[in-house]
Amino acid sequence: MLKGIHPLLNADVLHALRAMGHGDELVVAASNCPADSVGRQTMIGHPLRMDADTAAKAVAAILSVYPLDTFEPGAAARMQVVSDPHEIPAVQAEVQSAINAAQGSQFLLAGVERFAFYE
């Protein structure tokens, strides 16, 4: 066990975060996202899994070691609700709170249309 490393950050996630740089993207998604098919198209070649019971806990763990990119507009984004792109579901509000706690309120979740998000 490593000291000072959030327990949700397993070796695969830490390796991916360490390899990332400006402009690289990381998606935190629920199991109903097409994670397997999307993950196979990435540089890692498979989805990364975390044993978090909420997206906000996963985001808090990630942001404990990895800062959001200040050079990229929309450094944090969310998939828009199909029927109402301005709606912020509770899970996305919780993630925004985790971002605010780790990085400050300057990083608002940018809305991305569903199929653009999948890309």
Q: How far is CA 92 from each of CA 19, 46, 55, 80, rounded to the nearest angstrom?
A: 26, 24, 8, 10
Catalytic site residue from 15, 24, 69, 84: 69
69 catalytic? Reply is: yes
List CB contacts of 6: < 8 A, sequence separation 6 or more: 60, 61, 64, 65
Catalytic site residue from 15, 24, 36, 118: 118
Catalytic site residue from 22, 53, 84, 86: 22
22 catalytic? Reply is: yes
Alpha helices in the chain (DSSP H): 11-19, 35-39, 55-63, 90-103, 114-118
Phi first, then psi: give them for residue 75, nearest 5 degrees.
Answer: -60, -25
End-to-end distance of the chain based on CA atoms, in angstroms? Answer: 36
**Which residues are designated catalytic?**
22, 69, 118
